[in-house]
Structure formats: structure tokens, C-alpha cells
Structure 1
Amino acid sequence: MPVTLFFFIFLFFFHPVVSLSSDGLALLTLKSAVDGDGATAFSDWNENDPTPCHWSGISCANISDDTDPRVVGVGLAAKGLRGYLPSELGNLVYLRRLNLHTNAFHGSIPVQLFNATSLHSIFLHGNNLSGSLSPSVCNLPRLQNLDLSDNSLAGTIPESLGDCSQLQRLILAHNKFSGDIPPTPWPKLKNLVQLDLSANLLQGSIPDQIGELNSLAGTLNLSFNHLSGKIPKSLGKLPVTVSFDLRNNDLSGEIPQTGSFSNQGPTAFLNNAKLCGFPLQKTCTGSAQSEPGKNPGSARQRVNRSKKGLSPGLIILISVADAAGVALIGLVIVYVYWKKKDNSNGCSCSRKRKFGGSGNNERSNLCCFCWSLGCVKGFKSDDSDMEESEKGGGGGEGGGRGEGEGELVAIDKGFSFELDELLRASAYVLGKSGLGIVYKVVLGNGVPVAVRRLGEGGEQRYKEFAAEVQAIGKVKHPNIVKLRAYYWAQDEKLLISDFISNGNLANALRGRNGQPSPNLSWSTRLKIAKGTARGLAYLHECSPRKFVHGDIKPSNILLDTNFQPLISDFGLNRLISITGNNPSTGGFMGGALPYFKSSQTERINNYKAPEAKVPGCRPTQKWDVYSFGVVLLELLTGKSPDSSPGASTSVEVPDLVRWVKKGFEQESPLSEMVDPSLLQEIHAKKEVLAVFHVALSCTEGDPEVRPRMKTVSENLEKIGS
């Protein structure tokens, strides 16, 4: 009894005391520095807890076996926090990541913060911070990521940044930094991959030393400042994968033409009134023009000077005479042709049946267009392309064909067969969409082809249709589906292309049960990414019309038996508009697996660039770059950006781009973002990260910042080679 009584007396007079760790006490200063409106973010921050490791936004790790877990991460981004940054945050000596971006913190960045020497990532962008950037920032020996953009920081950029030897990303955009860009830090930053000093008040010239940033990737962004003087030639020594953004400055002189300058488009230099030379339309004059070969426009200028002897009136007279002569010759050819046709034994196609039979049987045979096939004797060859275009004008004012007439025109000389052979072969429906029905047809020699039926309208626009098809047919690349021939009649328009036997990337990634094909190893996915990039770069840079695809997505990337990708469906929207149908998303040119409208058109196309969703905007090549970036992210993550009613959230992410960017900002483990089926390929980790970076550069919100497809392709080719 006395022992029991003593125990209760002890409990009554001596309460056990629970003390919060030093890391927790430092964090409570942040809670007290925030106005009451942000209290909900700290609802579980309790001063009576022994450790802060279970608090919202706090992550901890065991530094050693004999110590308690320590705070290594603070993540309270976009929480609506309004207040100041307390200096006590510098007491978190094991803090690695400070992520407080997109809040309303004001005041200066405390110098004491840089006492937290384990910090390697500071994300404070999107606040109202002011004051200067302290030179003490490089007291952090492990600092890799410093993003202070979208604040009101002022003063000069400290030269001591060169002491941040591990720095990889320096983003100071949209502040009020002024003065010259210091020349000394850049040669020391051997690991810097991103530099963004845009939208500040910087002046003076661009330092030559920036050209020594050999590890730079993505975009060198110095736009929207007051930089002056000539663009240093040393920037040409930067990696060829680097895109420049020097817009809206006061730069002058001729744009250098060496090294990485050759990969830049005109948008990189816009709104610099005193700049001249390629790739701008403004040619240089004076001494710059006198050096032969220096400016791509110099030869053209000399030609123009040699023509000064011709008066404008004489030039107009010669042009009119030439046009009249060509028109007269065309009329003669058309007259002779139709005279000959009237005297020949033609046939009437009044008893025709349409391609695909009644349309009720989706595995029906191809029926003849006419019971009598005398209308079309066979296949025209590529040699008669010009003759074919001229004949198109004889059927009426609009260039249409006569009633019932048809033309089967071969675009590829090495690909020939009779029309009768095509029309009598067995055909099977592959898919239907707003871009037409697609059939698989096996010819008599055993060669399968894909036949797309476009529709029945557009009979008055034959010349326009033929010109578009011929332009598509001239695109020849191993990663682009090849158009072999086309058929034109008043009530039938067909495109005949190669049949690609292994389906498309969408089916390979998702399959019929939502699981990727077991054959989609990392090396295969990388091969698909590289091949698709090569094909798109060819369409953008080397094709006759510098095509814009406008609808890049996995269902339009077909796969052969070796999983080599082939891009399909480019140029079809234009042909559909000529035939009078309404284009929609989806469809095939040469595809192998069904893609029926009933299930697929309900999806929202989240592969499109943000600006592509604005009604009335014309497609651009940067649309394709964005869409390709989303395809890359899908290859990497295994997650689809499509959203549809009843979709499985385990494999679909409606905003895949934002999801991946958030993962990188929060430094989530790679295993949480990458496709689980790739986790066994440990050796590919560096390659996977490299492709992630390429994909993120493609999906930049600002189209001007996105790289060209040529640059994207070159970057991918370097990975794993």
C-alpha cells in the first residue's frame, strides 16, 4: 500500500514533459510569421508534438542510425500563405529542399537562410519578395536549383554566383534586377543547364563568357531587358541543342552565323530594331554586306542590283506576256485532249456501285465503281503528274471531272497494279472516323495496302485536290507512311498507302486491357521516340511544303513489325475540307487495328498545345512540338493524358504535363513517375531522365520557348548512342 500511494503521488506532482525538437521549434517561427489567413496550412502543426515529421508539408529522413529523423524538406507551395520568411529557417541544418513558391511572402530573403548548408533546391518563385540577392547565397555548397522568378527582387546580379559550383538551374526572370550582367561567374558554372534572366532591367552588353556554359541545355533566355551592343560570336560555341531567346532588347549589328546560331529561328531575335542578317528578313548593309558569303542574303542583293537596268513597266509587260503564253498553251492542250476523248469509245458509268458495297457489312468486298471498267484503263505513272493536273481543268470551270469519270493516279513509279485488281480484292474495315473509312486490301501479288475512302464531295475542286495529294506523295521518309496512289471520281475519292502491320502506339501502350505491350522495353520506346522525332523534323524542315501535322498523338504513330514508328494522317484535314466533309480527330492512314468513332471521339484531345485549343487559330509547327512532348511523357510514364467518361484514373492523367512538372518540382522519386514496367531496367535511369528533360522543354507553355523539332531530334539522338 505505501508503494502504490507513492506512485500516485509521483504522477500527481511530476507530469512527464514532451519537448519539441529544435527543427520543430524553427518551423514554428514560419507558422507565426504567416498571417492568419494561411492558418489552415498549419492545422496539424502542434507545438506539443515531439517531432514535426508528421506535419503537413514536412518531410524527414534519418541522417544517421543513432539520431532521430531530421527535417529535410519543406513543401508548402501554392497555399495562399501571406507573411515573411523568418531567419530561423537557417537553423534547419539538414534542410535540402525549400519549396514555398506561388504564395504571397513579402520582405527580403534573410541572409541567415544560407546557414542551412544542406540546401540544394530553393523554390521561392511567384511571391512578392523584394530586396537584393545576397552574395552569401553561395555559402550553400550543394546548391543546384535556385528559382526566384516572379518576385520584386532588385539590385545587381552578384558576381559571387560563380562560387555556386554545383548550380544547375538559375532562374531570376520577372524581377527588377538592373545593371550589367557580370562576366565572371559563367566560366565557373560547369554544371549549369538552365539560365533565365528574362524580364528584368538588365543593360549593357551580353558577356562573351556566357558562351563558355558548355553544359547549357534548353533555352538561354535573356529576353525583355535593355541589353545593347552586338551579339557575341562566342554564343555560337554553346551546344547546338540550346535555343536562344534574345527578344525585346536593344541589340544591334549582324547576327553571327557560326555554330549554334545556325539552329535558331527568327523569333529568337525579334524586336531588336538594330539587328540584321539571317534568320531575320532584314538584310545588313555597308561593310557587312561587302564580305562575300557572310550573309545568306548577300547573293540575292547582288542579283537584285544587276536587275536595276529593267524598268518596272518592262518587267510587268514581260510577266503578262509569259502568263498569256502559258495560258494559251494550256487551252490548246485541253482542247486536243477533250476532242480526242469525245471521239474515243468511252463508257457510261451510270450503273456504278460505290466502294465498300452497301456499307452495312464492315467486312464487305470492294465492289467496282462501274460495271464496265472501260472508263479507266489503268494506272497513270508519276511521269504524267503535270499532264494530269492540266487535264483536271477540262471538266468545267472549277476544274472538276465529268459525270462518272474516274482517275487512278500512281504517285510512286515502282508501285503499279490495275484498277480492276484493286476493286475486286477482298477488303476489311480497319477504322472509321471523320477522316474517312480505312480498309485493308490485299492485292493479287499478296501485297497489302491501306485504302482510305475520303468521301463524295468536292467534284469542282479536282486541281486543288490533285495538287495537295501530289505534295503529300512527295514526302518520302522511313518514319512517315508513304502515299502510293489516289483515285478521283465525282462520287469517290480514295488514297492508297502502305499498310503498316503492327498497329499504332496507342494500342501498344494501352492494349485491350489497359496494359502496355510486353515488347515495349525502354530501348524500344526510345527507338519509337527517336524515329517519330526524325519524321516530324523532316515534315517541318525538309518536306516540299514544310508541313504542319496538327494532330500528333499515339494513334497517328504507326508501328511496323520491328517497332519502327511511321507518322500517319498528315495533310488529311486539308483534303477532307476539299471534299466537303467535316474533319474530326482520330483516323488512320495505313493503320492496322480498329479505331472506331463510337468510343474514341468521346475523348478530349489533351495532346494539343494550349494555344491550339483557341478557336480559329491556324496550326503551327510549335503545336506539333508540344504534342510530341506529351507523347514522350506518355512513353515515359505509361499514363494517358486523355480523359473520357468512366476513365480509369490509374492510367489516365487529364493534365499529364502539369503532373510531371509538379513531380520534378517536388523532387519526387523517379519510381513514382516512370512506367512501372520500366523499373527493372535500372541501367536506363540516366536515359529516362534525359528524355524527361526533352519532353518538358517541348511542353513549355510559351510556344516561342519550345525548341524546333530539328533540335528535339538531335537531342534525342544523343541519348543512349
Structure 2
Amino acid sequence: MAGSLTSGSTLFVFFLAVAAALSSWVGSEPPAQERQALLGFIQKVPHANRLRWNTSANASTCGWVGVTCDGTNSSVVELRLPAVGLVGPVPEGTIGGLSQLQVLSLRSNRLSGSVPSDFSNLTLLRSLYLQGNSFAGGFPPGLTQLTRLIRLDLSSNNFSGQIPFGVNNLTRLTRLFLQNNQFSGSLPSISAGGLTDFNVSNNRLNGSIPPSLAKFDASAFAGNLALCGGPLQACSPSFFPPPAPPPNPPSPNPPPKKSKKKGLSTGAIVAIAVGSALAAFLILFLLVLCIRRRGRPRSPKPPKNVGAAGPPRAAAAEAGTSSSKDDITGGSVEAERNKLVFLEGGVYSFDLEDLLRASAEVLGKGSVGTSYKAVLEEGTTVVVKRLKDVAASKKEFEGTMEVLGKVKHENVVPLRAFYYSKDEKLLVYDYMAAGSLSALLHGSRGSGRTPLDWENRLKIAIATGRGLAHLHAAGKVVHGNIKSSNVLLRPDHNACVSDFGLNPLFGTATPPNRVAGYRAPEVVETRRVTFQSDVYSFGVLLLELLTGKAPNQASLGEEGIDLPRWVQSVVREEWTAEVFDVELMRYQNIEEEMVQLLQIAMSCVAVAPDQRPPMVEVVRMMEEMNRGETDDGLRQSSDDPSKGSDGQTPPTESRTPPIGITP
């Protein structure tokens, strides 16, 4: 009986112990330092109102939005805060204190600055998602110490500098995404044994692709101006190769064969004498024949093609072609290769050989070709655009160039000259030393950066609009490729549009404006650009100036909405202030103007083309915003902004008033 009682009491004590353990398990809470790390992060980083954490003492950390704890609720293992409106730098001593963290997702916010060095403390981290922010600086060195990482996504930020060889420390890595940044230098030889996904497209990398990475598709390396080898074209020592020479050109002066004997033999002397006599007889015969023909009466009827075979030399030189004599003899082939056709109002004097001898630097690679900065021996600097995939005939090409060469406006980069051959099509423009709006707006965000202030953003918007309005109204030219990299700047931030009117050269097979973020909905389907599609692209450009987001990097969430739709979604939730670039938040008394420009931009990106205002009206709306200044060049009280030097009046178009911001 006593033994039975002893056994029963032992069993009771066991159940009490289990119950106590279960009670302590269910009621456990992450360590205080992890709670403080999370609170420090959310208190120091501005964020959207939708992210509300109950910070009361009795509230569980594991119940906060985006926070996931382990099975015992004893530590935070996942922090997922994608697209919740986080703004600014991530403070040191916050997230780096979550030592048990395995998954961290801060993607699609507006975080900036460098990645904190104490991220190196997250030694258990397996997945890190930082894409779609504005992080800057070099590749975060602390990340190369996270040897358990399986997936690392730093895409669509502003990271720069070289990709370190230390990435090889991440031996478990299967997915590495670094695209849409500013990384430069050569690619390190990364061991890709375990990598299944890899992307470094749209950076500034150069050199040859390491053999270890050559297994990936060309799309993984696209958009790097100087990468070669592997799945891309073979490496070449020249950035600006000259036009291909004609096959096997005959040597004009073949080297004489060496004679084995010092003197001529008797037989050779006799042969020369006989040959000379025959040649003299032949010349005499031809001379007599010509005299007899000249004595014959001429026919009163002229030949059918009289005058067509011999244009004046001056006209031939102006058109970049040779004389009729050269055409007959075949001597025009090489002469034509050395001819640049300078357009009306040109200020340069050089030929193709001078251009090919110039030192060349790659400026950018766009949808229609590659642009080079060429410095000639005489010191002149120009931009040479080398076109690709041109489908137009020579006549069509020259006709298009003639039209574009007549466009003159202070906010349009003038086309100075062109070159056409079977192998090469080149365009020559003025060089704009201040660079592009894209580089100024998105380049090197972070510490040490001078932000683009509101005054200059508005100045650039109006100047760009004036240039585009002139193309439409006075030049009757559809730009077809409006984007921030095609808006070039002078040192005073006066903007000019470039690369205009080139779409007719490429036919319908090549989609115009290949940067998807700027394309109007109807262009995606029809591949035909219009004045209305230009207005849409300009509206996206205005949104880019207002939000600080590049349209091809503005996707929020897994669905990947474009910039106009994202702006509409934020405004629909009444978070209008979160639309604007965080760099604009430091300026005072500009909210009203920003909202007005936002309304103009949203009217431009209307889905239906007939609901978009014409460019002349868009410029007028921007100039009539509530601005009192008259000496900053932002207003034109009397002159039509679309008028260029020729003073033409724009055609009559229906005007659409600015619409409200509606989804």
C-alpha cells in the first residue's frame, strides 16, 4: 500500500513538472535586448502609419507585425517588413542585435545610407532581402561574413564600387542578385558551384566575365557597357571600332619583286622595244578614230540621262558622295567612307578619320545604340552615337536626318552630323559635360551626396517640357524615347532632350522606348509612338523627379506594379506625403507646389491617350503653378514655350485641364 502511494506521488510530481514546463514554454518571451533592438529600429526610422506595434509592457514582441519567433517564443528568427514605407538609414545597434535572426526582408522601402556594419552579427541569417531601396556605398563588407546565407538580394539600390572577392566566403549561397546598381570594375572569379540564380545586369562592370560565371544567360550581364566574354560578345581591345574595311582591298602600290639579276637580258630589251612600238601604233589609231567621230554631225536629240550622271562637285561634297567620274571608276567607295554629312548650322570641321583617331570613352548604352565621348586631336569634344539594328534604307536614313537636323531649340540637343554606310551608322551631337538627369537624380545616394533640390527639379521639368513641346509643335517630331538618361544638363541645370525622332529608323520590328517603365500602355501593344505616348513618358519623368524612384526600379511587392500605379495606390490610401522623395522633405513651404506638379504628372499618365493634355498645355500648367519668382527662368509670360528660333506656332490641339489624382 505504501509502495503504491509512493508510486502515485512520484507520478503526480512528474505531471506537475511537465505542466510547469509547458506553462513556462507558452509564456516565454524573447530576451529584453531583442525587444529593445526592435523598438530602437522602429522609433528611429520613419515609417508608414499602417505599421503599428503594441509597445506596452504586457504586449508580446512575437505578436508584432512582421516579427516571427521560434517555436518556444524565446527569440526572433524572422523580420519581414516589405513595402511598409520605411524611410532613411538603418541605425547601428538595432537590427544587428537580433543575433538569432534567420530571415530579414526590408525590400521595397525607401531606406538609404549604408548597410550597418553590425549586420555581421547576424551569423545565423539565411535569407537577406534589401532590394528596391536607396542603399548606397560599397558592397557591405559585413555580409561576406554571413557564411550561412542562402539567398542575398541587393538589387535596385545605389551600391557602388567593386564586387569583392570575399563573396566566395558565402559557400552556401544559391541565389545572388546585384542588378540595377552602380557596381564598377571587373567581376571577381566567384565560385558558382552552388549558384542557381545570378544577376549583375545594369551596373558599370567591365572586363571579361570569369569562366566560373559563363554558365549564366546573357541577360544576367546585360546593361554593363564594357563586359565581354562568356555568353556576351568576345572581348575586343577597342571600345570604338572603326567601320569594317571592304573585303580584300587591292594594294595601290604592290611591292616590286626583287630581280635575281642586276641587268636586263637581250630578249627582254627586244620585247620592250616591240611593245613600245605597238603601244605607239595603238595610240595613233585611237587618235585618228576620235578625229573622224568629231567630224560627224551631232544629233539634235540629247541622251535620255544627260545631266543625271554628273552632279556638281559642290553638291556631291555637301551630300557626302563623290563625283560621277568616281562613280564610274569605282573610286567613290573609299571616298564615301571618309565623309561625314554635316547638317545645317554646324559648328564643327573634321572628317571620319579624325573621329576614328579620337580618344573614346563609353558614356552609355541605350535602346538604339551606344554613345561615346570622343575627344579629337584638336581638342574638340563631341558625342558619337553608334546606332544598331537600323532597318531604314540610305535614302530613308538621310531623309530622317535632314528633318532632325532642322530642329533648333535651346532645350533640344542639336544633331550636328551623321554618317551612313552598310556597316556603320553614326550620329554626332554636342557634348553636355554636366551629364544626365538619371545620373544626377539616382547616382551615389547616401552620405556626402548633394541632393537635387526642389528649385532645380522644377527647373529641369519645365525646361524638358519646353524642349519636348517644341519637337511636337514646331518640328512635328515624336521623340519616342523620353527617359531621364535622355535628359541632359548644362552646368546651370538647364535641361535638353536628346535622342529624339529616331524610331522611324528601326521599323516596326524593334519596339521603341524599350525602357518599360516609361512606355505608354498603347505602345506596349502597337509598338507605335505618338505625341500622346510622349506625354505619358514625360508624366512618368515628372513622377521620377517627385518620388526619386527610377521607373524600372519602383516595383513594390511581388506583383511588380509600375511607378504611376504605385503612386495611385499610395494616394488612394491617403498617404500622399509618402509619395515624395525623402530628399525633398528637408525643404520648407514646397508641399503645395509638389502636389500641383503631382496632379499635372497624373494627368499626363492617364491610361486613355485622348485624356492626356498636349505638351504645350503641360508646359503652361507647370509655368502657371503658384510661383512668385520672375527672375529664375521658370516662367515665360509672353512667349510660347514651344516656339523655337523659327517662331512657328503650334498646331491647334484640344486642351485637357489638369485632373485630380484618382486611381
Structure showing greater Rg: 2
> Which of the five TM-score ranges fits, normalised by the shorter chain?
0.3 to 0.5
TM-score, normalization: structure 1?
A: 0.40
TM-score, normalization: structure 2?
A: 0.44
